[in-house]
Amino acid sequence: SEVARHCTPEDCWVALNGKVYDLTEFMDRHPGGPTTILAWAGKDASKFFNDIHKGVKIEQYLRPEAYLGDLGVDEQLMSESFWHTLREARVAEVREELERLISQTSGKRGKANTI
């Protein structure tokens, strides 16, 4: 993939949540240092990033020009089980967001299981 070709300290692209970012300039400003970013250079770091930075939007820390575009997916290479896993993950994300919105409007934690 194009992202995989950009995996050096001088040219560091990382995919996060379906978007591709050039983190070359950001590495030196990263609070955890450049090592973690370099470990994910040229790869999709979404799960790792989301596990550590729950709810954080990377865009708030980057210059607008760091966003390079959406991560392209060759749908012909994806198995049905992969698509099922992807759909399930998206459903879980939507439920979480709905529960958050319900709790904000009702003042208590709601469940989005019926939606």
Determine contact, residues 72/18, Cβ cutoff 8 Å.
no
Which of the two residues, 108 and 51, has the higher pLDDT score? 51
Average pLDDT over residues 86-101: 87
**How big is the CA angle at 16 (ends 37 and 55), to the nearest 5 degrees?**
100
State pLDDT tens for residues 18-73. Answer: 899 999 999 999 988 899 999 999 999 999 998 988 888 889 999 999 999 998 86
Average pLDDT over residues 6-17: 94
DSSP conformational letter for 69:
E
